[in-house]
Structure 1
Amino acid sequence: MGALTRVLETLDAVLDVGGLYDPSRDRYDHHQKGFAEVFGHGFTTKLSSAGLIYKAIDAIDNGINRYDIDQPPKYVNNTHLSSRVGKFNLDWTDPDQSSEKENEAFQRAITLAGTEFLDSVRFHVKSWLPARSIVIECLAARTDIDPSGEIMVLDRFCPWKLHLFELEQELKTEPSIKYVLYQDERSKSWRVQAVAKSPDSFESRKALPSQWRGLRDDDLSKETGILGCVFVHMSGFIGGNHTYEGALAMARGGLKL
């Protein structure tokens, strides 16, 4: 048994070293041959040491490509956590490459990563999970809004897009939601938003009618035959009306046209 192994054996928990994954003993390494632990629930990315504890984002740490095809991305994201932590490394031109200075940089990296983790926990507890509950309830009530089942109304605004995609798959919702209605918190007018084809797509499942796009106010109300219209975006992904009834009429019109 080597000196390092003897030291590790005395510790309560070991992360990212030691060549052992054994949660019962709080050993969380992912470098050893044969390690293949994944998140589960349909996710197949191999976990790194952080993910073994927190189910974090681990593909970067395991050297997994973002794309299956041999094509470069259209743009590069240099603001992910690994990149920001990497910026704490000592500059190679710095004449002081001492272990003391390296440890200082490491402590700054720990503070950054720890703060981001706690912020993420707070977000999921205070925002993400409550929003999911709201979307579940509103999705279940969709046929009360319109017999088509393709219009969902949020009784209060919340982050809904990713929840909707996930819940539709989990609950096998048919037909899929085409429009989501919600009230603008500042103006108190209503929005009718076309649902995108996928979470990372700008293309809508059913954009608002082309003849409405780019029109505003009275011109739009005249074209739609619906009172109180405010606007429809040039792409047709969103529109507005002064009242809930008007926004619902716009969504129903969008389904028919």
Structure 2
Amino acid sequence: MSLATLNICTHSGTFHADESLAVFMLKLLKRFSNAKVTRSRKPEDWESADIVVDVSGKYDAKKFFDHHQREFTGTFNSEYKTKLSSAGLVFKHFGKEVIAKVLKFDVKEKATDIEFLYDRVYKDFIEAVDANDNGIDKYANQKELVPRFHDKNFSLAGVVSNLNPSWDTDPTDADFDRMFIKASQIMGEAFLEFLTYMGKSFLPAKQYVEKAYGERFDVDKSGKIIVMEQYVPWKEHVYNIEKANNAVGQILFVLFPDTTGSWRITAVPVSAASFDSRKKLPEQWRGLRDNALSEKTGIPNCVFIHAAGFTGGVKSKEGAIKLAKMSI
């Protein structure tokens, strides 16, 4: 069967983030790259299609990938509790292939990296799509939470939802189909940007953080400061490296050059999602800048210390190391 004859089928009418992304991911694969997309609720169209997502009431992990049937309770794996949507189902079965294709990874040589990204991309992107489509709240007890603002229309799911033609325009199937293409592109581009970042930026950064961690006692005998010769995404790698070395909570400050040519000192957060730090920069330095800060610390060419005490800058590497040592 030629590539042009393949047919991806999803439901017609109002569309959602999950099938918009599911269809996009399928079309990333070579065999579906030129496939026709049919949007239909007719059983005869499901049967004639090569793959069916988010409609049909069937899931067989081969052709049918729907999650709406009463008996369906599938999750990504035993570590997750979120029920899969069509996006999660497609990613579960084709995700590793998608990752290898997008990042141009050799499946054998990069097997470990693909496995890592397979889980992380689901956890940090796809699971939220699944939860949204299945009506799963982010918090266990919504009644105790009072939001400070409304972000429904700021989310990807909200953006996609708002692309559906308005009821008062008496929309046709063709109107929905036309906007579905746009919705799929928006979801797909966001997915590709995240996957590319994880594969090309986040993952390669690990080696730089490991090197800095290995040299930490050369910086200070306390082993609580690490210095990187260039900025890379470091926070999660620090946590993972500490955990692997039975040294959780050990690193207090990370130093690196910033885009201005100065050196940045940053306090390690309590957790990846926390705004609090394991140890903040001294209170008496906070909010000071330039000469006032240099006079207070005794270190020349200081730039600033943030008022919240989680980061600061100085024009030299040596100065940044001195600030970190004085802060411990």
Following the alignment from structure 2 to structure 1, what is the Cα–Cα distance between the partners of residues 138 and 249?
Answer: 31
Aligned length: 250
Tell me which moved more, 169-178 or 142-151. Answer: 169-178
Following the alignment from structure 2 to structure 1, what is the Cα–Cα distance between the partners of residues 244 and 192?
Answer: 28
Which letter maps to 1:39?
F
CA contact (8 A) 2:249 2:278 kept: no
Following the alignment from structure 1 to structure 2, what is the Cα–Cα distance between the partners of residues 74 and 169?
Answer: 35
How far the C-alpha of 1:234 sits from its partner, in A, is 1.4
Following the alignment from structure 1 to structure 2, what is the Cα–Cα distance between the partners of residues 11 and 61?
Answer: 24
Following the alignment from structure 1 to structure 2, what is the Cα–Cα distance between the partners of residues 80 and 86?
Answer: 10
1:213 paired residue number: 286
Following the alignment from structure 2 to structure 1, what is the Cα–Cα distance between the partners of residues 216 and 64?
Answer: 47
Change in 2 beyond 3 A, CA 1:28/1:159 = same
Q: Secondary structure at 2:131's aligned position in 1? A: coil
Q: Secondary structure at 1:200's aligned position in 2? A: coil
1:12 paired residue number: 50
Tell me which moved more, 171-180 or 230-239. Answer: 171-180
CA contact (8 A) 1:228 1:241 kept: yes
**RCO higher in 1 or 2 (8 Å CA, sep ≥ 6)?**
2
Which letter maps to 1:67?
Y
Matched, 1:203 2:276: yes
Q: Secondary structure at 1:19's aligned position in 2? A: coil
Following the alignment from structure 2 to structure 1, what is the Cα–Cα distance between the partners of residues 234 and 46?
Answer: 45
How far the C-alpha of 1:84 sits from its partner, in A, is 0.7
2:314 paired residue number: 241
Which letter maps to 2:177?
N
Runs of 5+ consecutive residues of structure 1 not aligned to the other structure: none
Matched, 1:49 2:92: no
As a proportion of its length, which structure holds more helix? 2
Give the percent of matched residue pairs that are identical in Structure 1 and Structure 2: 40
Q: Secondary structure at 2:178's aligned position in 1? A: helix
Q: Report the TM-score when normalising by structure 2.
A: 0.68
Q: Secondary structure at 1:123's aligned position in 2? A: helix
1:22 paired residue number: 60
CA contact (8 A) 1:37 1:47 kept: yes
Runs of 5+ consecutive residues of structure 2 not aligned to the other structure: 1-40, 92-121
Change in 2 beyond 3 A, CA 1:161/1:88 = same
Give the alignment partner of residue 106 of structure 1, picking from 180, 184, 188: 180
Change in 2 beyond 3 A, CA 1:122/1:35 = same
Give the alignment partner of residue 67 of structure 1, picking from 122, 136, 139: 139
1:144-223 residue pairs with structure 2 within 5 A?
144-169=218-243, 172-186=246-260, 188-223=261-296
Following the alignment from structure 2 to structure 1, what is the Cα–Cα distance between the partners of residues 257 and 184?
Answer: 41
Which letter maps to 1:21?
Y
Q: Secondary structure at 2:182's aligned position in 1? A: helix
Q: Secondary structure at 1:68's aligned position in 2? A: coil
Following the alignment from structure 1 to structure 2, what is the Cα–Cα distance between the partners of residues 52 and 131?
Answer: 30
CA RMSD of aligned residues (A): 2.5
Q: Secondary structure at 1:59's aligned position in 2? A: helix
CA contact (8 A) 1:149 1:175 kept: no
1:91 paired residue number: 166
Q: Report the TM-score when normalising by structure 1.
A: 0.84
2:26 paired residue number: none
Which letter maps to 2:235?
K
Matched, 1:141 2:215: yes
